[in-house]
Structure 1
Amino acid sequence: MRLARENPTWGHRRVQGELARLGYRIAASTVWEILNAAGIDPAPRRPGPTWREFLTAQAEGIIAADFFHIDTALGRRLYALVFLEHDTRRLHITRVTAHPTRDWAVQQARNLTADLGMRIETLRFLLRDRDGKYGEAFDAVFQAEEMEILKSAPQAPRMNAHCERVIGSIRREALDHVLIMNEAHARHVLAAYERHYNERRPHQTRNQLPPDAHEQPVAAHALSTSKVLRTRILGGVINEYRYAA
């Protein structure tokens, strides 16, 4: 039963073959009866992996996109587009606009593919919702890089949960503590947060490593004698720490 649950596309004969390779001599009909009694479809075409299982298995090749809005102190609504690489959790925040047209979204997609450089060769899927601001030309930018477009179901934000979560982090850790005055100010705040997120912010899913780090730094001095310095980001909204040289 374990083999069938861990490999949902295997039929009873495929399970029997794997058992035979492990040294268990058992008839295919017996495997069929065991799976059927356990409530597992013995046919070769059982339902595939769940959405969460798919995202986990394909994390290395997925980049997700989502729009979010920013309300300025003067009551103007601005928009930005975030892209998040699932495997590394690397964050990309686009430029800001008050008018997120399809042409604008296409330009942000082109800017992203240029910024990714050679890393884009490791990506296989773009995950997005069904917002009308994307359009066929937006998808075509990624399809030209041999990427497949995955669309989440309508009104199902959990299907793009990583992007939803990072947008929540942007709000809680930066935007909720700053009065945004205009587009230029919004770009400055978001750029500062993006640098902090990618270079210094620890992530539990990466063993507390930032997206751009490959290993934890080694302290050059004894912890008891080293002075820890604080760097204030965005006027102290975010703090970063390092040892004094």
Structure 2
Amino acid sequence: MWKVLRAAGIDPIRDRSGPSWSEFIHSQSKAIMATDFACVDNALLRRFHALFVIEVATRRVHLAGITPNPTGSWTTQAARNLTMRLGDRHPFRFVIRDGAGQFTRSFDAVLAGSGITAIRTPPRSPQANAFAERWVRTLSHELLDPTIIWNERQLRQLLEEYLEHYNSHRPHRGLHQRAPNDTADVTPIGTGQPIKRHTSCAGLINEYQSAA
């Protein structure tokens, strides 16, 4: 079909009536979340699956749950917990997910009950869920790769500490070097001003702030 259109001098992309995928994401970013699993293997070669949701506009991340067996019923219950946490006045209208079997019709139905439409990405198209994929890379590089995970309890504690750092302290280039939870202008630390260092995630992460 593409060859026929090109032979006739018609560009199929130029004549589309709707916006491109990137244009849709940009225009609706405040109403979009993305979700995926981060897979973590512990020291005993047992795999855990951490389900997370990231808000596209603010980059704020929510941990929806951790399980060694991510069944459809478990994922559906995680969706219920998430919608209860978000409350009735959330601004979200869409959630981007891939075609994994854990994201069942009941998962989509729970979200639909809160006014959120699930958008399934095309097969073998991780770029369509780029925000979630980038978050997994960041999580692996900054926390999981240099850490030996022993059990689910340790993993949960590390993830919760890292999310606190990620949402409240870690600067993001896409947010003009602000953290997702920043609500006011950040005052830079002046030259010669005392600095206090705080560690988290078993010493892997350092946070710095004014000592005064």
- TM-score (norm: length of structure 2): 0.89
CA-based RMSD of the aligned residues comes to 2.0
Runs of 4+ residues deviating >6 angstroms: 38-41
* Partner of residue 116, structure 2: 147
Q: C-alpha distance in 2, partners of 1:68/1:107?
A: 18
Matches within 5 A, 1:200-219: 200-218=169-187
- Choose from 226, 229, 234 the match for 2:201: 234
Residues 194, 211 of structure 2: 8 Å contact kept? yes
User: Please, which of 91, 113, 117 is the counterpart of residue 83 of structure 2?
Assistant: 113
Tell me the amino acid that sits aligned with residue 93 of structure 1. L
Preserved contact between residue 230 and residue 240 of structure 1 (Cα < 8 Å): yes
Change in Cα spacing, 1:119 to 1:193, as seen in structure 2 (3 Å) is farther
Structure-to-structure mapping, 1:88-127, within 5 angstroms: 88-120=58-90, 122-127=91-96
Aligned counterparts of 1:161 and 1:100: Cα–Cα separation in 2:
22
Structure-2 separation of matches of 1:183 and 1:119:
32
> How far apart, CA to CA, are the structure 1 residues paired with 2:135 and 2:92?
19
Mapped to 2, the partners of 1:80 and 1:119 lie a distance apart of: 26
> How far did 1:119 drift?
4.8
**1:73 and 2:40 matched:** no
Q: Which has the higher strand share?
A: 2
How far is the alpha carbon of 1:160 from its aligned partner?
0.1
Q: State the partner residue of 1:192.
A: 161
Residue 159 of structure 1: aligned partner: 128
Structure 2: give runs of 5+ residues left out of the alignment: 1-8
Give 1:83 shift.
0.4
Aligned mates of 2:35, 2:205 — CA distance in 1:
25
Partner secondary structure for residue 101 of structure 2: coil
Structure 1 position 225 matched with structure 2 position 192: yes
Max Rg structure:
1
Task: Look up the SS of the partner of 1:96 in the other structure.
Answer: strand
Between 1 and 2, higher relative CO (CA 8 Å, sep ≥ 6) is seen in: 2
Q: Percent of aligned pairs with the same residue?
A: 37
Counterpart of 2:105 in structure 1 is 136
TM normalised by structure 1 equals 0.78
Change (3 A) 1:115 1:160: same
Query: 1 or 2, which has the higher helix percentage?
Result: 1
